A = this chain, B = another copy of it.
Amino acid sequence: MQIAIALFDRFTALDAVGPYEVLGRVPGAETVFVAERPGPVRNDSGTLALVADATFAEVTRPDVVVVPGGPGQTPQMANETLLSWLRAVDATTTWTASVCTGSLLLAAAGLLKGRRATSHWLALNAIKRYDVEPTGERVVFDGKYVTAAGVSSGIDMALALAGRIAGDRAAQSIQLLTEYDPQPPYDAGSPHKAPADLVAEHRAHSRHPQP
């Protein structure tokens, strides 16, 4: 089972590596980081580079595709090379997944039309223009499309997906080995829980249109 994780300039690292760490442990999984060109791809801050081991042209029939988000998503909305690759591989995937603003890329490729999906909380409003019903949920399954909310939510998404692919026991085994027993020291991980002025501050500075 081939799992392709797409990379593009200024992606958010944890969007890609969270699901990678979980899905790569599914029995029989063969993961590959894929991008327009092979070699290092820099993240949003420029201080991390993940190597793309294959090009889009080389990965034509992955069973699962995962699209991360990040500030680099905005220019990718007009990158026909990425969007047509997404449409092409989606024709034969078992699961097409995204994390964070990666769902805006799936939407721009026309893959989420009429479906329920989620995204980073700051981008939930933006996804409406693609005929997508945004939900505030952390992980959304709609048919073979699986979307996750912001950044860290890709871990929850990947565990749920691992369960669908390989069964509950395999997913629990992955959770145990990655010791995923979260104990955040604060309770500010969603706009409903964080201090209201922090939420307002981030909305004011977002690159996405806010409600």
Contacts and interface: CB of A to CB of B under 8 A. Distances in A.
A18 B24 contact: no
B175 A153 contact: no
A57 interface: no
Nearest to A12: B21
Contacts of A152: 21, 155, 178-182
Nearest to A52: B49
Given A14-B17, A155-B152, A163 B186 contact: yes
Given A47-B53, A49-B51, A121 B195 contact: no
Interface stretch (A82-90, A107-115, A126-134, A164-172): A164-172
A198 interface: yes
A36 interface: no
Nearest to A40: B51
Nearest to A99: B179
Given A51-B51, A186-B172, A21 B32 contact: no
A151 B171 contact: no
A26 to B, nearest CB: 12
Given A21-B13, A185-B156, A151 B173 contact: no
A33 interface: yes
A97 interface: no
A1 interface: no
B190 A172 contact: no
Interface of A: 12-14, 17-18, 20-21, 24, 30-33, 40, 45, 47-51, 53, 100, 120-121, 138-139, 149-153, 155-156, 159-160, 163, 168-169, 171-173, 175-186, 188-191, 193-195, 198-199, 201-202
